[in-house]
């Protein structure tokens, strides 16, 4: 499952990835301090109700919204177009989404 989340604060006051994110840190939104991560759809632990679950389409829309304000760049430093952003998101999902 695709999750939009924020970092937790640990006992030492440092930011830490929540325990229920198996792979995360993608598509960071600097305006809301949120990012995308992945967790198994079937799990034995609780994911907080406040965490937003996204579909692939919603994840791509979120990335396009971030890109409109904070443009993504390709490996050569050139600003990506909308198709490239969608392809980037799809590649992240294909590589990291946990069934």
pLDDT tens string 19-64 = 999 999 999 999 999 999 999 888 888 899 999 999 999 999 999 9
Question: Is residue 92 pLDDT above 80, yes or no?
Answer: yes
DSSP H helical ranges for 1-99: 56-69, 82-96
Q: How many domains does the chain have?
A: 1
Residue position matching structure tokens 């759809």: 41
Cα–Cα distance measured from residue 41 to residue 13, given in angstroms and rounded to the nearest whole number: 30
Q: What residues does 5 pair with on adjacent strands?
A: 35
Q: 34 lies in which domain range?
A: 2-96
Contact 43, 99 (CB under 8 A): no
């Amino acid at each position: 499952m695709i999750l939009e989340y924020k970092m937790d604060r640990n006992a030492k006051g440092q930011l830490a990835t929540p325990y229920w994110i198996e792979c995360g840190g993608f598509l960071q939104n600097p305006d809301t301090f949120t990012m995308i991560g992945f967790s198994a759809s079937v799990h034995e632990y609780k994911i907080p109700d406040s965490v937003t679950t996204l579909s692939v389409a919603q994840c791509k829309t979120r990335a396009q919204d971030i890109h409109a304000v904070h443009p993504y760049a390709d490996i050569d430093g050139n600003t990506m177009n909308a198709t490239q952003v969608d392809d980037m998101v799809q590649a992240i999902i294909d590589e990291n989404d946990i069934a």
